[in-house]
Amino acid sequence: MRNTARGLLAGLVTGLAASGVLLGVPPAMAATVGPVTDDIGVVRIAKGAPIQIGGYWVLSGPDTALGLDERRGVEIAMKDAGDSLLGHPLKLVAEDDGCNAEGGQTAATKLAANPQIVIVLGPACSSSNTPAAPILWQAGITDIDTAATAPALTAANRKPEYDGLVRTVFSDADQGKADAAYIFNVLKARRAVAMHDGSPYAQQLAAVFAANFKQLGGEVLSTEAVAPTDVDMHPVLTRIASEKPDVLYLPMFIAATAQILRQAKDTSGLEHTHMFGGSSLAAADFIEAAGPAVVGFQIGYPDLSPEAMGQGYPKFVEEYKKAYGEGPISGFHANAYDAATMAFKAIQAVAKTDDAGNLYIGRKALRDAVFATKFEGIAGPVACDPHGQCSQLKAAVFEFTSADPKTYGIGKNPKKVYPPSH
Amino acid sequence: MSATTLTLRRFNAVDVILWLLRIGVLLIVVIGTLATLIKARYTIAQWLDFVMFGLTIGSIYAQIALGYTMVYGVLRLINFAHGDIVMTGAFAGYFAAAGFDRSGLLESRPVLAMAGILLVAVLTSTCIAVLTERIAYRPFRRVQGLAPLICAIGVSFFLEQTFRGLFGSSVKSYPDPSWLRAAFVVFGFRIPRVDVLVIGLALVFMALLYMVVQRTRMGTAMRAVAEDAEAAALMGIDVNRVIVFTFMLGGVMAGIAGVFYAFLYKQVYFFMGFTPGIKAFGAAVLGGIGSIPGAMLGGFFLGMVESVGPTLFLDGIGIPAPYQLRDLIAFTLLIMVLIFRPQGILGERMARKRA
Amino acid sequence: MPTSLAILPRRRQPATPLQRTLGVGLVFGVIGVYLAAVGLLPMLNKRSVIVDTIGLGDATMIAIGLGAGAMAARHAHTRGGATLHGLLAGAVAGAMAAALAVVMQLVSLQSIFIQLSPALFTMLTLGLGLAGGAAVLIGGGAAAGLAGALLRDSPPGGRRIVLAGLGTVVVAGVFQELIQLVLQNAGALTTSASEFFYTWEGLSQQGAAAIFVIAAIIAGLNAMVQRRAAGRVAASERRVRLRRLLRAGILLLLLVCFPLLAGSYIGQVLMLVGLYILMGMGLNLEVGLAGLLDLGFVAFFAVGAYTTALLTADSAHALAALSYWEAMPIAVLLSICVGVIFGIPVLGVRGDYLAVATMGLGEIVRVIVTSDFAAPLLGGAQGVLQIPKPRIGATVLATPVALFYLTLAASAVAAYVAWRLENSRLGRAWMALRDDEDVAQALGVNLIRSKLLAYGLGAAFAGLGGSIFAVMLSSVYPSSFQLLISINVLALIIVGGMGSLPGVVVGSLALIGLPELLREFGEYRYLFYGAVLVIMMRLKPEGLWPSEVRRRELHAGDEAEALDAGADLLPAGQHASSAAE
Instruction: Output Rg (C-alpha) for chain B, integer angstroms.
Output: 21
Is residue A158 domain-shared with residue A43, that is, in the same domain? yes
For residue B6, give the chain C residue with the closest CA.
C348
Q: Output the CA–CA distances (angstroms, integers) from residue B69 to A132, A291, B65, B283, B351, in the order listed.
A: 47, 36, 6, 9, 13
SS3 content of chain B, % helix, strand, coil (to 5): 75, 5, 20
In a domain, A319, yes or no: no
Is residue C359 domain-shared with residue C423, that is, in the same domain? yes
Report the pLDDT value the prediction gives residue A422, as an integer from 0 to 100: 57
Nearest to C569 among B149, B233, B335 (CB): B233
Q: Does B47 touch chain A (CB under 8 A)?
A: no
In a domain, C126, yes or no: yes
Distance CA C359, CA C483 (A): 8
For residue C534, give the chain B residue with the closest CA.
B151
Strand partners, A249: A194, A276
Is residue C32 domain-shared with residue C108, that is, in the same domain? yes
Is residue C214 domain-shared with residue C351, that is, in the same domain? no
> Which domain does C418 fall in, by range?
265-493
Inter-chain touch B323–A238, beta carbons under 8 Å: no
C-chain residues near B331 (CB < 8 A)? 360-361, 363-364, 367
Interface test with A, best of C477, C508, C516, C551 (most A CBs within 10 A): C477
Distance CA C361, CA C346 (A): 10
CATH number attached to the domain at B41-340: 1.10.3470
Q: Does B45 touch chain A (CB under 8 A)?
A: yes
In a domain, C296, yes or no: yes
Let me know if B220 is exposed, middle or buried by CB neighbors in 10 A (0-12, 13-18, 19+). middle
**CB C212 within 8 Å of CB C169:** yes
B157-B326-B338-B148 Cα dihedral, nearest 10 degrees: 0
Whether the pLDDT of residue A12 is over 50: the answer is: no
Inter-chain touch C381–A196, beta carbons under 8 Å: yes
Residue A270's CATH number? 3.40.50.2300
Is residue C144 domain-shared with residue C165, that is, in the same domain? no
A-chain residues near C547 (CB < 8 A)? 1
Whether the pLDDT of residue A195 is over 90: the answer is: yes
Report the pLDDT value the prediction gives residue C231, as an integer from 0 to 100: 62
In a domain, C254, yes or no: no
C-chain residues near B140 (CB < 8 A)? 537
In a domain, A157, yes or no: yes
Q: Give the orientation angle of helix C483-496 with respect to helix C525-539, to 10 degrees.
A: 40
Final residue belonging to a domain, choices C472, C493, C514: C493
One pLDDT digit (tens) per residue for chain C, 581 residues: 343 444 444 556 677 878 888 888 999 999 999 998 888 888 888 888 888 888 888 899 899 999 998 888 877 777 778 888 888 899 999 999 999 988 888 888 878 888 888 888 888 888 888 888 889 889 999 999 989 888 888 887 788 888 888 889 888 888 887 888 777 766 777 778 887 888 767 888 888 888 889 988 888 888 888 777 766 655 567 777 788 788 878 877 887 777 777 777 888 888 899 999 999 999 988 888 888 888 889 999 999 999 999 999 888 888 888 888 999 999 999 999 999 988 888 887 777 788 888 888 899 999 999 888 888 888 888 888 888 888 888 888 888 888 888 998 898 898 888 888 888 888 888 888 888 888 888 888 888 888 899 999 999 999 999 999 999 888 888 888 988 889 889 889 888 888 888 889 889 988 888 888 887 787 888 888 889 888 888 888 888 887 766 666 655 544 444 444 333 333 333 333 333 33
Pairs across A and C, CB distance < 8 A: 163
Final residue belonging to a domain, choices C131, C153, C175: C153
ipTM of predicted assembly, 2 dp: 0.87
Is residue C145 domain-shared with residue C178, that is, in the same domain? no
In a domain, A47, yes or no: yes
Is residue A302 domain-shared with residue A404, that is, in the same domain? yes
In a domain, C165, yes or no: yes
**CB A120 within 8 Å of CB A164:** no
Q: DSSP letters along B292-325, please? A: HHHHHHHHHHHHHHHHHHIIIIIITTT-SSGGGG
Our CA-based measurement puts residue C28 at a distance from the nearest CA of chain B, in whole angstroms, of 16
For residue C490, give the chain B residue with the closest CA.
B150
Is residue C278 domain-shared with residue C130, that is, in the same domain? no
Report the pLDDT value the prediction gives residue A32, as an integer from 0 to 100: 82
Distance CA C511, CA C228 (A): 36
Inter-chain touch C419–A110, beta carbons under 8 Å: no
User: What is the mean pLDDT of the segment spanning A7-18?
Assistant: 47
**pTM for the structure as a whole:** 0.87
Is residue A138 domain-shared with residue A165, that is, in the same domain? yes
Domain boundaries, chain B: 41-340
Distance CA C542, CA C530 (A): 17
Give the number of other Cβ atoms within 10 Å of residue B10's Cβ: 11
Is residue A282 domain-shared with residue A401, that is, in the same domain? yes
The tens digit of pLDDT for each residue in A204-236 reads 899 999 999 999 999 999 999 998 888 889 889
Our CA-based measurement puts residue C332 at a distance from the nearest CA of chain A, in whole angstroms, of 21
> Which domain does A58 fall in, by range?
32-169+332-391
In a domain, A13, yes or no: no
**CB A97 within 8 Å of CB C519:** no
Is residue A123 domain-shared with residue A139, that is, in the same domain? yes
Is residue A153 domain-shared with residue A70, that is, in the same domain? yes
Inter-chain touch C529–B157, beta carbons under 8 Å: yes
C-chain residues near B165 (CB < 8 A)? 37-40, 115, 524, 527
Inter-chain touch B238–C359, beta carbons under 8 Å: no
Nearest to B323 among A64, A226, A267 (CB): A226
Is residue A370 domain-shared with residue A412, that is, in the same domain? no
Q: What are phi and psi of A191, to 5 degrees?
A: -120, 120
Beta strand ranges found along B181-244 (DSSP E): 183-186, 189-192
For residue A151, give the chain C residue with the closest CA.
C382
Distance CA A133, CA A129 (A): 6
Give chain A's domain count.
2
- Which residues lie below 8 Å from residue C552, measured CB to CB, with a gap of 6+? none
Nearest to C357 among B156, B168, B338 (CB): B338
Q: Output the CA–CA distances (angstroms, integers) from residue A356 to A35, A322, A349, in the order listed.
A: 12, 39, 20
Q: What is the DSSP letter of B87?
A: H
Nearest to A229 among B172, B275, B311 (CB): B275
Is residue C27 domain-shared with residue C161, that is, in the same domain? no
Report the pLDDT value the prediction gives residue B234, as an integer from 0 to 100: 86
Our CA-based measurement puts residue C111 at a distance from the nearest CA of chain B, in whole angstroms, of 9
Our CA-based measurement puts residue B354 at a distance from the nearest CA of chain C, in whole angstroms, of 7
Give chain C's domain count.
3
Is residue A93 domain-shared with residue A223, that is, in the same domain? no
Is residue C323 domain-shared with residue C435, that is, in the same domain? yes
In a domain, C246, yes or no: no
Nearest to A238 among B46, B183, B321 (CB): B46
Let me know if A415 is exposed, middle or buried by CB neighbors in 10 A (0-12, 13-18, 19+). middle
- Which residues lie below 8 Å from residue C283, measured CB to CB, with a gap of 6+? C294, C297, C458, C461, C462, C489, C490, C493
Report the pLDDT value the prediction gives residue C394, as an integer from 0 to 100: 80
In a domain, A315, yes or no: no
Is residue C351 domain-shared with residue C450, that is, in the same domain? yes
Is residue C140 domain-shared with residue C210, that is, in the same domain? no
In a domain, C579, yes or no: no
Q: Does C137 touch chain B (CB under 8 A)?
A: no
**CB A318 within 8 Å of CB A80:** no
In a domain, C274, yes or no: yes
Let me know if C189 is exposed, middle or buried by CB neighbors in 10 A (0-12, 13-18, 19+). exposed
Is residue C203 domain-shared with residue C296, that is, in the same domain? no
A-chain residues near C392 (CB < 8 A)? 23
The tens digit of pLDDT for each residue in A337-381 reads 999 999 999 999 999 998 888 899 999 999 999 999 999 888 888
In a domain, C545, yes or no: no
Distance CA C227, CA C41 (A): 40
